[in-house]
Structure 1
Amino acid sequence: MERDRRFEGPSDLHLHSTHSDGTESPSLVMAAAHRHGLRTVALTDHDTTSGWAEAAEAASSLGMTFLPGMELSAQHEWRSVHLLAYLVDPDDEDLRAMTDRIRSSRLDRAQIMAERISRDFDIDWGDIVAQTEDGATVGRPHIADALIARGIVADRTEAFASILHPRNEYYVSLYAPDPVTAVELVVGAGGVPIVAHPAGRALLPRRVLEAMLAAGLAGFELRHRENLPDATAALARLADERDLIVTGSSDYHGLGKPNLPGENTTDDDMVARLIAAGTGSAPVFP
């Protein structure tokens, strides 16, 4: 494919803001990306596109290319599956209906978990709300931040390993579509679906991956700190066999994770393929 000269690398296509579980506003996320030498970026907040406008304006002002994105929640049996959805139409009715349902489930889940946790710890719903911004997708990271603020745990890592762990009595499952349905929704909205950090401990069965590929899955995020070497190698072989898009990203969350912008990046030819494949929305070039 001929090189798209309207953008340049390095490219980091997986960053989060306060519109989901990051700790910085979209404009501050763009500023952090620029400080770390990035030139093409995507904001991929969980199940929402509400940060796009602010991020696009900030990225443009800094001379960076902005790719609209979102991290769509999905579930296969007990496995949580995250699908990076690039260049979707944010007004697509089916996709919006699903993200609205997921965010509603997140809110219900957080309220039930808060009530359960409050039986044993000095924390209430108001503490959790105080950790979010208007329009943010409420999630377990906000409960973790409330626990930190109360001095109950030291950081998010401790919170997720103890009180918020799925095996804990306080845990409540989240509604999310199956991975094939999630791929179909992204494709239907003109987007490009990529499985986020797919080579971790909860590797999807091959039959599920094949069904996702048949539904239009475009590729895998193979350069990510949570991927394991053997699983990454297996998926890299599959990507090579099927000529899939392979991305690399930081999964930056501000202070919410140790990940830094640009610690993993996506090759220019893969970014060009993403841009060429997406029809639901357009990149914002500087």
Structure 2
Amino acid sequence: MNSKSPLNVDLHCHSSVSDGVLAPAVLAERASRNGVDVWSLTDHDELSGLAEAGRAARELGMVFIPGVEVSTTWANQTVHVVGLNVDVNNAVLQDGLNGIRAGRIGRAREMACRLEAQGVAGSYEGALRYAGNPGLLSRTHFARFMVEQGLCKGMQDAFDKYLGDGKPGYVRVHWSSLGQAVSWILAAGGRAVLAHPGRYMYTPTQFGALFDDFKQLGGQGIEVVTGSHRPDQYRQYADIARQYGFLASRGSDFHAPGESRIDLGAMPALPPGLTPVWHDWV
């Protein structure tokens, strides 16, 4: 690493163990080719890809930060919390994630039934073809199937027509609570980071309550620069980080080549005046 240049840090992406398409080691190779110095794999509610990812990352000369993205429900919406630098062997974290995954299977079957009623046949089996881990079948896998079948122009079109909140194929599920997710991450020695806040559909008052709750529960960071944010939102959430005293995180939220909005390591640097979440790790 060149100590005179800012580190290229990417602390949010997904492999085929959850809803990405690349195996953990292949994802590590892509991150390294793209100049990433510090990298984390943060699969949804799943830790099983971290051993492979860590081995590959270290062989490629990257600093590896074990991570996970935990699904929570707050004010009737799904909110994601990224746990960084977690102990993958921690029983509290493992048990919590096991409980979340158990609810995903029933949700996927109900989604398939609703899509069938909309004329989308064979969606459960079709989505399974895209899932490296059948226990983590998600909306993303269904969307890929519908794009393959020519029913949607692209992934966003599938969510806009069928899979987004309130759409015909959407199935609401109660994930862990925000407090549970943060407590599991803290028990595993990690830092809890609120993922891509710009994606949530809350009022300003609700956002204020979310940030207050998250901080009081022990949340320490917020994603500022992410592939899920527009450039104007980088500035917006940099201001939020300063206001609440959050550490700032940076991550592509990469899922697949040609599908994700931004590639691994391709985000701009954090805005000035922020303390990076990785400040004492590297």
Smaller-chain TM-score bracket: 0.7 to 0.9
Query: Equivalent pairs: percent with the same residue?
Result: 27
TM-score (norm 2): 0.86
Specify the alignment match of 1:16 in structure 2.
14
How far did 1:32 drift? 1.0
> How has the CA–CA distance of structure 1 residues 228 and 265 changed in structure 2, closer, same or farther, with 3 Å as cutoff?
closer
CA distance, structure 2, for counterparts of residue 145 and residue 229 of structure 1: 27
Specify the alignment match of 2:281 in structure 1.
275
How far did 1:155 drift? 2.1
Q: Note if 1:258 corresponds to 2:261.
A: yes
> How has the CA–CA distance of structure 1 residues 15 and 75 changed in structure 2, closer, same or farther, with 3 Å as cutoff?
same
> How has the CA–CA distance of structure 1 residues 269 and 243 changed in structure 2, closer, same or farther, with 3 Å as cutoff?
closer
Relative contact order (alpha carbons < 8 A, sep ≥ 6): 1 or 2 greater? 1
Stretch deviating more after TM superposition (71-80 or 228-237): 228-237
How far did 1:230 drift? 6.9
CA distance, structure 1, for counterparts of residue 115 and residue 83 of structure 2: 33
TM-score (norm 1): 0.85
Q: Which amino acid in the other structure matches residue 261 of structure 2? A: P
Instruction: After TM superposition, list the pairs within 5 Å mapping 1:39-118 onto structure 2.
Output: 39-118=37-116
Aligned residue among 196, 211, 216 for 2:213: 211
Q: Aligned to 2:11, what secondary structure does the other structure show?
A: strand
CA distance, structure 2, for counterparts of residue 182 and residue 274 of structure 1: 23
Q: Is the 8 A contact 1:95 1:186 kept in 2?
A: yes
Q: Aligned to 1:110, what secondary structure does the other structure show?
A: helix
Q: Deviations over 1:130-159 (max 9, x none)?
A: 111146621111111222232322321111
Q: Which amino acid in the other structure matches residue 275 of structure 1? A: W
> How has the CA–CA distance of structure 1 residues 241 and 166 changed in structure 2, closer, same or farther, with 3 Å as cutoff?
closer
Specify the alignment match of 1:284 in structure 2.
none
CA distance, structure 2, for counterparts of residue 106 and residue 112 of structure 1: 10
Tell me how many residue pairs correspond in the alignment: 270
CA distance, structure 1, for counterparts of residue 133 and residue 210 of structure 2: 36
CA distance, structure 1, for counterparts of residue 31 and residue 10 of structure 2: 8
* Structure 1 gaps, min length 5: 277-286
Q: Is the 8 A contact 1:34 1:62 kept in 2?
A: yes
* Structure 2 gaps, min length 5: none
How far did 1:25 drift? 0.7
Q: Is the 8 A contact 2:28 2:57 kept in 1?
A: yes
